[in-house]
Amino acid sequence: MATRFDLENIDIAWCPGCGNYSIHNILKAALEELDIDPKNLVIVSGIGQAAKAPQYIRCNYFNGLHGRSLPVAVGIKASNPNLTVIVESGDGCMYGEGGNHFVHAIRRNSNITVIVHNNMVYGLTKGQASPTSQRGFTTSVQVAGVLNEPFNPIAVALSLKCSFVARAFCGDIQQTKEIIKRAILHEGFALIDIFQPCVTFNKINTYKWFKENTYYMKDHDETDIRKAFERALEESPLPLGVFYVEKRPTFESQQRIYKNSLEPLFKRKHSVEQIMNLIESKRRW
């Protein structure tokens, strides 16, 4: 599907067959269906294969440091709440290097959408384990296989009362697109962890593996955090869909300066007089 987000003549650096392509196309389709203006869209990413994604979409982007996409996104959204802000990064970027921001950005509940391309491996640096790599996964660094308990982003997000928590699989275009659309429309921090096969470095968690080891939740009560947590602990098969949704004031909506107007910071007046008054007040105490 052609969208207003397509770029011409670009050289996409992903491997043929990589799951990133389908996330890329799904996202563009979702944005198109939501009728979002590229000029009003900012995609923020870190560093990694997934993090190259904004380079391939017509939009504003901030391709920052490995692991640091979330604080950048929070800063952007807080400075101009009228922008649509999406974060797109890899599992290593978001849950490894960026783990502390993941935890605390969720607590803030900024109105941003966070799409994690979870391929359970470090792609760009050529195949080391990521926090979501499964036990026993062997790599050039984890020569005896991964020893750590895998990081469960869904469970962690729930434990932080993340206001929108979902998991998807990039092999399923339709349902993933619907989840992304819901996430973008959600007012608050929306996490979508998307399973994405890395055809080059992850020979375990392949398209086939994901297909065989996932299922969509049915009759799941999205407002029950306890149930959501129980679901999050399920391992084989792994549930897909929206685990939890909660309506809570966003970071931006709680700022004094946005109580009466959403005018972005750059449009606000610099009042020399107000500052002079402050200074003059320091002559008295």
Partner 1 sequence: MELSILICGEAGQGIQTIEYLFPNVLKDSGLNVYSYKEYMSRVRGGSNSTLIRVSDRPVRAFCRKVDVLVSLSSQTTHLSRLSDRIDSDAIIILDSDSNTKLYHNGKIIHQVPISKLALQAGNKVYSNSVVLGMLCSILNLPFENALSAIEKWFCNKGGNICEENKIAAKLGYENISTNSDLRIRKDFNSDPRVKEHLLINGAEAVAIGALAGGCNFVSSYPMSPSTGVLTNLAAYSREFDIIVEQAEDEISAINMALGAWYAGARALVTTSGGGFALMVEALSLAGAIESPIVIHLAQRPGPATGLPTRTEQADLLFALFSGHGEFERVILAPGNIEQAFSCTAKAFEISDKYQVPVFVLTDQYLMDTIYNFDSLKKVEPCFNHVVKTTDNYKRYEITQDGISPRGIPGFGDGLVCVDSDEHDEFGRITENFTIRKKMVEKRLRKLKDFSDEVPAELIGNEDYRYLILCFGSTREIVVEAVKDFDEVAVVHLQQIHPLPSNLSRYLRMAQKVLIVESNATSQLGKLIKMDLGFNNFETLNKYNGLPFYVEEVRDFAKRFVKGEI
Ligand X SMILES: Cc1ncc(C[n+]2csc(CCOP(=O)(O)OP(=O)(O)O)c2C)c(N)n1
CA nearest 89: which of 71, 111, 110, 109?
Answer: 71
Helix (H, G, I), strand (E, B) or coil at 35: coil
Q: List the one residue from 2, 8, 9, 11 that touches partner 1 (CB under 8 A).
A: 11
CA nearest 89: which of 116, 64, 58, 127?
Answer: 116
Between 214 and 250, name the residue whose CB sits nearer to partner 1. Answer: 250
- Other beta carbons within 10 Å of 107: 12
Q: What phi, psi does 248 have (nearest 5°)?
A: -145, 150
Helix (H, G, I), strand (E, B) or coil at 116: strand
115-134 mask for ligand SF4 (x: CB under 6 A)? ----x---x-----------
CA nearest 202: which of 92, 43, 113?
Answer: 92
CA nearest 90: which of 184, 28, 14?
Answer: 14
CA nearest 57: which of 114, 122, 3, 112?
Answer: 3
Between 28 and 68, name the residue whose CB sits nearer to a second copy. Answer: 68
Q: Does 122 bind partner 1 (CB under 8 A)?
A: yes
152-181 mask for a second copy (x: CB under 8 A)? x--xx-xxxx--------------------
CA nearest 121: which of 45, 18, 40?
Answer: 18
Q: Does 100 bind a second copy (CB under 8 A)?
A: yes
Q: Does 121 bind ligand X (CB under 6 A)?
A: yes
Q: Does 213 bind partner 1 (CB under 8 A)?
A: no
Between 19 and 188, name the residue whose CB sits nearer to ligand X. Answer: 19
Between 122 and 164, name the residue whose CB sits nearer to partner 1. Answer: 122
Q: Does 158 bind partner 1 (CB under 8 A)?
A: no
Q: Does 91 bind Mg ion (CB under 5 A)?
A: yes
Binding site for ligand X (CB under 6 A): 47-50, 66, 90-93, 97, 117, 119, 121-125, 130
Binding site for ligand SF4 (CB under 6 A): 14-15, 18, 20, 49, 119, 123, 198-201
